[in-house]
Structure 1
Amino acid sequence: MKRIGGILVVLATLTGCGEQAPSAQRQAGATAQAEPVDDGKADCALGGSHEWVHDCAVERAGKMLTLRHPDGGFRRFRVLDDGRGLEAADGAEAAKLTILDDKRIEVVAGSDRYRLPAQIGATRRP
């Protein structure tokens, strides 16, 4: 797992409005490795599954991020301002964050995994 120290992670705003048009790659039926699309959903692999599906609804209200599972379950996270990305907002399981590339992060909480769009850049030191 990559360490995040010294890197600023800013989660992209996910509104669920679905107004952003899919990229040409998605229209052509490309896999989940294509450019992320803000359609109000995130890729998720739940309950220890190895299969990723684009089926977890994303809700953002201020600093709170809720990821809703198709079966009605959900996870809540708090978006952090200190460059660490996010942390579990409730529950006993801590969130672990991994940078996948310059546009996505993977968040693991318990046996659930999520891939979210993010803007990643180096922090400046005074």
Structure 2
Amino acid sequence: MQEGVDMRRMGCALVVLATLAGCGEQAPSSSPNQAGVAAEAGPVDDGKADCALGGSQEWAHDCVVERAGKMLTLRHPDGGFRRFHVLDDGRGLEAADGAEAAKLTILDDKQIEIVAGGDRYRLPAQIGAAGGQ
């Protein structure tokens, strides 16, 4: 049985979560000629995340992402939220509140998924090898 991703790929979590530092901030504007290229590049970091809340199978792009230092907050459209500590030890993150552990999965080289309880979030990320792997 495979749980999430293997430890070698999980070592990339630091690189992944480091890219979230800009979440919630306005991205620099690009020229109109670059708009098509950006659309093909993958998920856009617009300060929001795709989320499926309360065990729902339906995804919506309406959870707000906030990053303050080592704290990542994902705000739900109904006013609820989840907070996570960004870790420096290669595990990625852990739940900051409550008893439900967070599980981080690398979906591809442009996106990660975080699961905590019945809530799931997909965040844009740049995946890279940590430590030259």
**Pair in the same fold by TM > 0.5:** yes
Deviation at 1:17, TM superposition (A): 3.0
**Within 2, Cα distance between the matches of 1:15 and 1:98?**
19
**1:36 Cα deviation from its structure 2 partner:** 1.4
Q: TM-score, normalised by structure 2?
A: 0.78
> Are the aligned partners of 2:63 and 2:75 in contact in 1 as well (CA < 8 Å)?
yes
With over 3 angstroms needed to count, the CA separation of the structure-2 counterparts of 1:87 and 1:4, relative to structure 1, is: farther
Q: TM-score, normalised by structure 1?
A: 0.82
Runs of 4+ that moved beyond 6 A: none
Contact 1:8/1:120 (8 A) holds in 2: yes
Question: Cα RMSD over matched residues?
Answer: 2.3
* CA positional deviation for 1:38: 1.4
1:24 pairs, out of 14, 20, 36, with 36
Which residue number in structure 2 is paired with residue 14 of structure 1?
Answer: 22
Q: Decide whether the 8 Å contact of 1:14 with 1:58 is kept in 2.
A: no
Number of equivalences: 120
Could you say if the C-alpha distance between residues 54 and 26 of structure 1 is closer, same or farther in structure 2, counting changes exceeding 3 Å?
Answer: farther
Higher strand share: 1
- CA shift at 1:26, angstroms? 7.9
Q: 1:44–1:114: 8 Å Cα contact kept in structure 2?
A: yes
1:74 aligns with 2:76: no
Report the 3-state secondary structure (helix = DSSP H, G, I; strand = E; otherwise coil) of the residue aligned with 2:131: coil
Cα distance, 1:54–1:21 mapped onto 2, change above 3 Å: farther
